[in-house]
Chain A
Amino acid sequence: MHLRPRLPASVRAVRHLVADLGMGLLALVMFSAVTFAAALAPAGVGLAVMPALASWTRRLASRQRRRVAAFLGTPAAERYQPIEGALPLRVRAVLSDPATYRDFVWLLVHGVAGTAAGYLALALPLFAVNALTVPLWWRAVPGTSLLGYPVDSWPSALSGIAVGLGYALLALVVPVPLARLSARLSGLLLRPPRQARLAVVNAARAAALEAHEQELKRIERDLHDETQNRLVGVLMNLGMLERSLAEAPEHTRRLAERAHEAASDALTHLRRVVRTIHPPVLTERGLDGAIAALAASSPVPCAVAVDDVPRLPAAVETAAYFAVAEALTNLAKHSGAGSAHVRLRTEGAVLVVEVEDDGRGGAQVRPGGGLAGIDRRVAAFSGRTMLTSPPGGPTVVRVEVPCGL
């Protein structure tokens, strides 16, 4: 058994459990206070102190959430109704918040289990020290039940060493799973209900998409307005250089020309890259405008219906834009369709894009093909792509992208 590597983990677990012990005792005090107040509730006084008790409980529970999150390395999610306003409002906020009752259950469970676990974590090393040292001092108190059995002879005193080693082993091995168990129990009891958790996740998602959008726009702006302008400046100077080199030797002029071509290529390449990051037309015209522009330039006549789609995160709009562009290109190449329809709408927090054509049908998703490309792009936003294409048509490409609204 490798005891040495276990030591830091055990120390960390013991520390956590000792803090659990403190929290457990506080929880027991709070539990008693809340129970007492609840018993006095009919008298009115009990109700009046509820908001104060609840906010103390919340502070205790919040602290425990952060400790559990830090110990387990998981995110701490928390959701409370704010306790604000006049006293009756505060009382109602406390009583109507399901979190109040969850916290109350936690107070009791942790008050008992957390205290017990913390006590065990503290006691085991002390038992070990006690048993190991019995041979040194048993003669001061002969015949006393020092090890759970009377110690009245040297053999029984020396058996303390074995008992002590046993306790020491337990003190080393037990705290880690015990601390984890205690943390998981608290985590489970203090976790906001599923609905609230989803709201937290969605909010985080929307914030991430928003940040991503700002980032995309910044990159696009930087590339177009800064990087490109610098390169255009280089080109302009090279152009003027070329003009003044009219009399120079052929060799010199060709060098300038080559530099010019290289800078020009760099610009063309840069423009293409920027386009795939975030097409400028999206910034200028919005998603519906950009899709209308795509439809207008589609070789197959294409009607667009946009149902009240709000401004969405740029990354989502970009994904939708490229999905439509790819679908239109694809159907123009393969479907033999005479007309196409693009429909955009939001269903809840999901953007739904449908591209339908009246072509011959029988379309399939081929690896490396356009549809696979769409799927890869929208999958990055937990979206999905569905293809319906019976022989004889019609073919419908349906793309769903959660938009974190």
Chain B
Amino acid sequence: MRVVIAEDDALLREGLSMLLASEGVEVAAAVDNAADLLDAMDGHAPDALLVDVRLPPGFRDEGLRAAVEARTRVPGLPVLVLSSYVEDSSAAELLQDGAGGVGYLLKQRVGKVGEFVEALRRVAAGGTVIDPEVIAQLLVRRRANDPLHRLTPREREVLGLMAEGRSNAGIAERLVISDGAVNKYIRNIFSKLDLPPSESGHRRVLAVLAYLKG
């Protein structure tokens, strides 16, 4: 797997490159601003982008903007966005095109090296990985007329784990239930959210998107 990193903090940029290299991920380029990121993307044709939300010159959400721009240039290009803090609205914006291959994590998740690299691989494979903190924000603040209210608490829990990017097996392990039970919950979720049956990967993204948009 080849990735391009955009991180303005030199120490973190080098740290990330080293970390990924030691985990067998090839770092095609590591840049410190949004414009260079888009250039590197065109030049290196990476499998995924790893982007810090705040980049120069404004240190606001240039990285997020660049990620969205990258995906309009190369639809479905996997992007994992890292941020010092998370906002559910940013996650929803990234997922807007419904194409999957999106990750949105707190920076500090890189500390759990195994999980972090796993999340990157899942995103590169077209999956969706949303930070548990975003999920927590969403659980606290839900609309009263939300279609998600039709879900049972257990189904919502399963949906939350899906949003975190866990596979069916991962969800089964986490909730200590059988794979069959997980499948049943997921089928219920899809039907309660009126998601028509199609290739299941795409439906997963749509379910998560519905979850994030509220």
Binds B, one of A85-93, A290-298, A365-373: A290-298
**Chain B residues bordering chain A, tally (CB within 8 A):** 35
- Tell me the bound Cα distance from A237 to B214 in angstroms: 37
B151 / chain A contacts, CB cutoff of 8 Å: none
- Tell me the bound Cα distance from A242 to B117 in angstroms: 14
Q: In the complex, which of the residues A229, A236, A242, A301 has the most CB atoms of chain B within 10 Å of its own CB atom?
A: A236
Q: Are A301 and B113 neighbours in the complex by a CB distance under 8 Å?
A: no
B16 / chain A contacts, CB cutoff of 8 Å: 236
A-B contact count (CB 8 A): 95
Q: Residue of B at shortest CB range from A221?
A: B59
Q: Which of A268, A280, A297 contacts B214, CB < 8 Å?
A: A297
Q: Residue of B at shortest CB range from A293?
A: B89
Is B112 engaged at the interface, CB distance under 8 Å to the other chain? Answer: yes
A264-301 contacts to B, CB under 8 A, are 264, 267-268, 271, 274-275, 280-281, 283-284, 293, 296-301
Q: In the complex, which of the residues B54, B88, B107, B145 has the most CB atoms of chain A within 10 Å of its own CB atom?
A: B107
Q: Are B145 and A232 neighbours in the complex by a CB distance under 8 Å?
A: no
- Tell me the bound Cα distance from A271 to B131 in angstroms: 15
Q: Which of B60, B61, B110 contacts A236, CB < 8 Å?
A: B110
Is A2 engaged at the interface, CB distance under 8 Å to the other chain? Answer: no
Q: Which of A264, A271, A300, A338 contacts B111, CB < 8 Å?
A: A264
Is A180 engaged at the interface, CB distance under 8 Å to the other chain? Answer: no
Q: Residue of B at shortest CB range from A235?
A: B111
- Tell me the bound Cα distance from A283 to B87 in angstroms: 13
Is B15 engaged at the interface, CB distance under 8 Å to the other chain? Answer: yes
Tell me the smallest distance from the CB of B106 to a CB of chain A, in Å.
8
Given contacts A235-B108, A236-B12, A263-B111, whether A281 and B22 have CB atoms under 8 Å apart is no
A21-61 contacts to B, CB under 8 A, are none
Is B196 engaged at the interface, CB distance under 8 Å to the other chain? Answer: no
Binds A, one of B135-143, B154-162, B170-178, B186-194: B135-143
Q: Which of B11, B15, B84, B88 contacts A224, CB < 8 Å?
A: B84
A366-389 contacts to B, CB under 8 A, are none
Give chain A's interface residue range (CB within 8 Å of chain B): 35 or more
B1-37 contacts to A, CB under 8 A, are 8-9, 11-12, 15-16, 18-19, 22
Q: Which of B9, B54, B111, B145 contacts A301, CB < 8 Å?
A: B145
Is A166 engaged at the interface, CB distance under 8 Å to the other chain? Answer: no
Q: Are B19 and A239 neighbours in the complex by a CB distance under 8 Å?
A: yes
Is A260 engaged at the interface, CB distance under 8 Å to the other chain? Answer: yes
Is A238 engaged at the interface, CB distance under 8 Å to the other chain? Answer: yes
A228 / chain B contacts, CB cutoff of 8 Å: 84, 107
27 contacts between A and B (CB under 8 A): A224-B85, A225-B54, A229-B11, A229-B84, A230-B11, A232-B111, A236-B110, A238-B111, A239-B113, A239-B116, A240-B113, A243-B22, A243-B114, A263-B111, A264-B111, A268-B108, A274-B85, A275-B85, A284-B87, A296-B214, A297-B141, A297-B214, A298-B143, A299-B141, A301-B143, A301-B144, A301-B145
A interface residues, Cβ below 8 angstroms from B? 221, 224-225, 228-233, 235-240, 242-243, 260, 263-264, 267-268, 271, 274-275, 280-281, 283-284, 293, 296-301, 338
6 more A-B contacts (CB under 8 A) besides A298-B141, A338-B144? A235-B111, A239-B19, A239-B110, A242-B113, A281-B87, A299-B143
